[in-house]
Amino acid sequence: MVESTAGVFSRAWQLLTANWIIIVPGIVVGIVSEIVRSLLGPHMVVTPDGGVTSIGGGFIMMQAAYLIQLVLFVASVTYTTGMAGAAWRTGTTTLSDGTVAFERDAGKVVVALIALFLLGWVALILSIPTFGLAMLAFIYFVVYTFPAAVIGEVPGIEAIKESVRIAQSRVSPTLTMIVAIAVIGIVVGIVTSALHVVPFLGPVIGGLIAGAASAYFTLVVAGEYLQLKAGGA
């Protein structure tokens, strides 16, 4: 049975609360990314004369950091999306579902990510004369790319094309989903920013909330993708 968009949001929340393990990949990747940034990025130090200077973070180290972070991002996307797909299909998921997705679909995600990066730059440039509409259109049309690549097992470029096709044929549910995610994301952003003023526990709790929100959004998009595919999109 094909659920409404509201039903997808409700079911995604149920799946998240029953499968908290799905937030683990994103949180682990976030922690490791911060460690990589701290070790390989530039550091501000105070000089003997009281000034401030930057040390470390040379070109090679920065490129290594970017490469590691790219690998981490791909791992986060494939793990979380693979787990989301398993949760929707069976009601439960484990990290092994993410491992299977990573081993099978990481290459597709890398290709899609590179293409999205290039398309995103084009959209950014076109946003100047279109007052931001080009970037909004870009976000709208590529929203199903990662579910298509991981859950649908569609090759990278074809995953983007499938996302565009679904977004074109299912305008109302796609637009409703994106707006709802944006609103929830703004609220989560406000809450996590406020928590950062609380020493130690604030950032930790904020990070957990942000990780849960990210996993929830992945579940929503994955669920909507599966629903629209089931409906003939």
Quickly tell me which residue has 């090759």 as its tokens. Answer: 155
* Residues in CB range of 98: below 8 A, 6 or more apart: 25, 78, 79, 80, 82, 83
φ, ψ for residue 132 (rounded to 5)? 90, -10
Q: Which pair of structure tokens corresponds to residue 136?
A: 């909004």
* 79 and 17 Cβ atoms separated by less than 8 Å: no
Quickly tell me which residue has 């076109």 as its tokens. Answer: 126
CA–chain centroid gap for 34, Å, is: 17
Quickly tell me which residue has 């084009």 as its tokens. Answer: 122
| DSSP state at residue 2 | P
Predicted model pTM: 0.86
pLDDT along the chain (233 residues), means of 10: 76 95 91 79 59 60 79 92 96 95 94 95 94 93 96 94 93 92 92 84 84 94 90 65
pLDDT attached to residue 30: 84
Q: Residue 21: which of 103, 93, 100 has the closest Cα?
A: 93
Residues 65/68/71/72 CA torsion (nearest 10 deg): -90
Q: Which pair of structure tokens corresponds to residue 6?
A: 């509201």
Quickly tell me which residue has 């069976």 as its tokens. Answer: 90
Q: How far apart are CA 62 and CA 196, in angstroms?
A: 27
Q: Residue 8: which of 151, 177, 152, 126 has the closest Cα?
A: 177
* 64 and 40 Cβ atoms separated by less than 8 Å: yes
Quickly tell me which residue has 């990290």 as its tokens. Answer: 95
Q: Which pair of structure tokens corresponds to residue 205?
A: 């709790």
